[in-house]
Structure 1
Amino acid sequence: MWEKLKQRWNVQSGWDVAIILLVFACTGFSIMYIKRALFDWVGLTDAATWLRWTANILVILPLYQVVLLAWGWLFGKFEFFWQFEKRMLDRMAGIFRR
């Protein structure tokens, strides 16, 4: 599994893979807490499901990208995550180009 991830992400060592996975984990936990606090503050905890989903897409998804870059920078992998973000945004834009 580590070798597949090294090849897929084009990194040199297993430590790079471990750091990348750690950054994804930290980002996920951070967003979970930010989302809970933000939704409580705005009052979306008891809102309709469609409203929560809309807020997730319009607010939380872009916030995830910023937090991912911040954690990547803290762990010294900013360049990797910057390239990762650009590829992901290009794929998302490709959906609308078709």
Structure 2
Amino acid sequence: MNQLIEKLKKRWEIETIGQLILILFIFSITGMTALYVRKFAFGWLGIDEHTALWVEVIAWVGTVFPAYQVLFLFYGFVLGQFEFVWRFEKKSLQRITGMLKRSSGS
């Protein structure tokens, strides 16, 4: 367990176990809040168990994914870890755009 903690601290460029716990908490509350956003957005859009999967996927990408990103930044700011969260977001978005560019053949 100690090796995992040290590996995460090194990978995420953080110094204390307190920061690590706080960052894991930020991931957790962001995910839980995103579930509420999904429930609200899907209800508002009229998506239910009879909706085609492709419609759900498009709705998820259009609502929940961006909401998660904003919530992650918000919670990181409120809990004093904005620098880490911003750096993490930039890396994640660079990976996503890189995958999209490779899949489009550019």
Q: Same fold (TM over 0.5)?
A: yes
> 25, 39, 54: which one pairs with 1:50?
54
Partner of 2:24: 21
> 24, 29, 32: which one pairs with 2:35?
32
Partner of 2:86: 82
Tell me the SS of whatever aligns to 1:68. Answer: helix
Query: How far does residue 96 in structure 1 lie from its aligned partner after superposition?
Result: 2.8
Overall identity of the aligned pairs, in %:
37
Partner of 1:64: 68
- Aligned equivalents of 1:48 and 1:16: distance in 2? 42
- Moved >6 Å (runs of 4+): none
The runs of 5 or more residues in structure 2 that have no matched partner are none
Partner of 1:97: 101
The TM-score, its normalising length taken from structure 2, stands at 0.87
Bigger drift between 41-50 and 23-32 goes to: 41-50
The TM-score, its normalising length taken from structure 1, stands at 0.93
> Considering only CA atoms, is the larger Rg found in Structure 1 or Structure 2?
2
RMSD: 1.0
Query: How far does residue 97 in structure 1 lie from its aligned partner after superposition?
Result: 2.8
- Aligned equivalents of 1:14 and 1:89: distance in 2? 26
